[in-house]
Structure 1
């Protein structure tokens, strides 16, 4: 069963809680606090696995939850961080936020992508000891991990997409130019799933061809099977439009050409601009007049025209060489860029109550602002743009202005909900 869409929930692990503990040792008086920090929760990481070709596994398991970090313990022992949860998907899977449609990742390369970050561990009571508060009896709980409902959409990675009406010979063509072995029979909708085949032109050159099934009039509006598979054409660098030039089934090949192109444009305007080669198939059953009539029609549109017979392999070699030649002039297969969280969505996380308090102890400025915790879960200290957003939040909320009013100096330590950094102008 070919499944190319699914919806799942992912939840990163919560951070472990910080410990409240005091050093106890014989002959050591007033040992002081020694509660360790909690461990970080596990991330949810998506990884490409070429052993998978569909998303059917996600129809049976719909919730993926990473482990929680361990709590801190005595003797300044930090809790163990939880391992990442690896979610394996087929190559070409597009991950979107189900609520906003935002692209979160395009799983087209071998690079793993962190989709939900585990929560930071809470601080142990050792961090809250000061000259005036020598026995802090509290610690910070761990931060919750990120949680999303996401949609998975498989868009096949192919250089060339074969499109055309059912029974025009697309499956036969891909079977004779590659090692793919699709089911071939003389009835409509024989091919029920996209078929990929690697076409080799020589020892060092090859390209991937995809047979896109089920396109008929109205496919762009969901008629037939076409609406299920049109998404797989979106990544193709080149379209090979296969037409039954013989008209043996009583259809007009010129009309078929216009109908399929209209459906591609209706689904995605970019597809109408995609480079295209026309392969007039079943030429062995067509008259010379039929072939030349179609040739004039296609060449008048400025498109390359190749007369072939996939069943007898007539003209298929010339077609393959032309495809390889055109592909060398085209950019790589389309990859989708991950989209940042919209400003409005991030601002919504702040809530309506933006109250905060600031206390100073031993030149450390402790900021208490519960509303900022959801934002801090999205902050990656290693990402410049993420830190820039965090800085804007502090400025817009008035926290920076209040710190300056209280006399904060460059280099002073600021602690916001357990997240510490050196203040800089």
Structure 2
């Protein structure tokens, strides 16, 4: 049995960037070959693309987790790692992308429209790319960045010219089955239609699409019944057709009250879409009234009785019978005329040239705030510092020294000193915590040492946190053996 899924939660994971390579060129008779480590490859991104051949979100219902491939690590001989392959996810036209908080991210309209959901991590630089005047042969490389993770909600809003609205069992499915080649499920119980049905109608030289959506009951705009499913799929319909059951035996129901109830729900519901793809509020769409089931004598009499009252509201009224197939030709041409008028008044926007406007990057900005969980400590936040932390190999002293130079050049140490940071204070950047030591000459010319080492981190004249704590205990009389301090 075919299933129609129009709302799914998608969990995406972009690929991680490959690590850079720390390598030195080795060749006979070339003792100073120099660094030749290649860069890591970029991780693959997760991208949504509108595909006209896809009509449902069923694939994401059964496979809600999507992960792109990772980039490959760099290699010696200046060989860069391969980039991860982007994961392309095909979605139907009319898909709306929301974040986990319900905020609109994108309205996917138009074949080929793309949206990057999760961006792949950048690859780490190899030591060949880290060569500078001070570091002629870096003994380290940068690690690749992790790919982005994103959890989004995909909602499908049908794209049709005419939307059939009405109470359950009003005959909407029967009507679309005789106006077009669509074959929806038809039964004699409410809420037979659990998914939208689309049909194509040709009337003269006008071809238009018609949508039969789940039935409406009072309170639908608040989520009762299948109301939200119903209202979501008529947001994009240019024309709304009220299909009224004139043969209903339910007490308290008649064509006028049914239409009033429909109008109240349409007015209470505000489409979530904004911008060029939105057609405005539902209350502003053109209307047409279809009085159905005129093959029943009592229904035909009731339809003729209320026809003049409905026409006074300025709406075209058609009395039809989907079973007897009467009045359908006039209805199809009337809908074609309204659709043609709407298309003439709202021409499809032509494709515009893409304009790229440079935006000032905020990556260089950072903040330093007191650490609430550590007295005297500080927390550094910023795109660059946190990214540099993830790229650093902390088991390599030379890489740590390179990180210190970068933070110093950015101004992190100056800001810490301005805020009164004391030597030995804990400084947290990302998920790593350091002991603040302003005596380390960060930013100074690096003294050449062995590969993977940094002489600045091997200085012994500075007093460590353990020694300072012991000296404090001695001053307070808590320790009597001063020789421990000398050790």
TM-score range, shorter chain: 0.7 to 0.9
Q: Distance in 1 between matches of 2:134 and 2:250?
A: 92
Report the equivalent of 2:234.
233
Q: Judging changes above 3 Å, is the alpha-carbon distance between structure 1 residues 297 and 200 closer, same or farther for their aligned structure 2 residues? A: same
Paired residue secondary structure (2:232): helix
Q: Which runs of 5+ in 1 are unaligned?
A: 335-345, 355-368, 378-397, 403-425
Q: Pick from 288, 313, 317: which aligns with 1:305? A: 317
Q: Pick from 8, 12, 32: which aligns with 1:6? A: 8
Cα deviation, residue 138, structure 1: 1.8
Alignment: residue pair count: 355
Report the equivalent of 1:210.
211
Alignment of 1:125-274 (within 5 A): 125-202=127-204, 205-250=206-251, 251-268=253-270, 270-274=281-285
Q: Distance in 2 between matches of 1:48 and 1:78?
A: 33
Q: Pick from 280, 299, 310: which aligns with 2:291? A: 280
| Contact 2:69/2:84, CA 8 A, preserved across alignment | yes
Q: Distance in 2 between matches of 1:96 and 1:347?
A: 25
Q: Judging changes above 3 Å, is the alpha-carbon distance between structure 1 residues 158 and 348 closer, same or farther for their aligned structure 2 residues? A: farther
Q: Pick from 34, 45, 48: which aligns with 1:46? A: 48
Cα deviation, residue 122, structure 1: 1.4
| Contact 2:10/2:60, CA 8 A, preserved across alignment | yes
Q: Distance in 1 between matches of 2:301 and 2:363?
A: 66
Report the equivalent of 1:353.
368
Q: RMSD in angstroms over aligned alpha carbons?
A: 3.0
Q: Distance in 1 between matches of 2:158 and 2:210?
A: 10
| Contact 1:159/1:333, CA 8 A, preserved across alignment | no
Q: Distance in 2 between matches of 1:165 and 1:333?
A: 32
Paired residue secondary structure (1:210): strand
Report the equivalent of 1:358.
none
Instruction: Show CA shifts across 1:192-224 (max 9, x none).
Output: 22111111224x631111101221112122222
Q: Pick from 333, 338, 341: which aligns with 1:326? A: 338
| Contact 1:245/1:294, CA 8 A, preserved across alignment | no
Cα deviation, residue 258, structure 1: 0.5
| Contact 1:70/1:79, CA 8 A, preserved across alignment | yes
Q: Judging changes above 3 Å, is the alpha-carbon distance between structure 1 residues 374 and 13 closer, same or farther for their aligned structure 2 residues? A: farther
Paired residue secondary structure (1:353): strand
Alignment of 1:338-417 (within 5 A): 352-353=367-368, 371-373=382-384
Q: Which runs of 5+ in 2 are unaligned?
A: 272-280, 350-360, 370-379, 389-409, 415-487
Q: Distance in 2 between matches of 1:148 and 1:137?
A: 35
Cα deviation, residue 272, structure 1: 1.5
Q: Distance in 2 between matches of 1:263 and 1:297?
A: 21
Paired residue secondary structure (2:382): helix
Q: Pick from 314, 319, 329: which aligns with 1:317? A: 329
Q: Distance in 2 between matches of 1:375 and 1:20?
A: 22
| Contact 2:52/2:111, CA 8 A, preserved across alignment | no
| Contact 1:15/1:41, CA 8 A, preserved across alignment | yes
| Contact 1:158/1:333, CA 8 A, preserved across alignment | no
Paired residue secondary structure (2:335): helix
Q: Distance in 1 between matches of 2:94 and 2:52?
A: 10
Indicate the structure whose relative CO is greater, using CA pairs within 8 Å and at least 6 residues apart: 1
Paired residue secondary structure (1:328): helix
Report the equivalent of 1:362.
none
Instruction: Show CA shifts across 1:331-389 (max 9, x none).
Output: 3689xxxxxxxxxxx989977439xxxxxxxxxxxxxx982249989xxxxxxxxxxxx
Q: Judging changes above 3 Å, is the alpha-carbon distance between structure 1 residues 107 and 114 closer, same or farther for their aligned structure 2 residues? A: farther
Q: Distance in 1 between matches of 2:364 and 2:320?
A: 59
Cα deviation, residue 50, structure 1: 4.8
| Contact 2:363/2:382, CA 8 A, preserved across alignment | no
| Contact 1:349/1:375, CA 8 A, preserved across alignment | no
Q: Distance in 2 between matches of 1:89 and 1:223?
A: 28
Larger Rg computed on CA atoms: 2
Is 182-191 or 313-322 further displaced after alignment? 182-191
| Contact 1:13/1:43, CA 8 A, preserved across alignment | yes
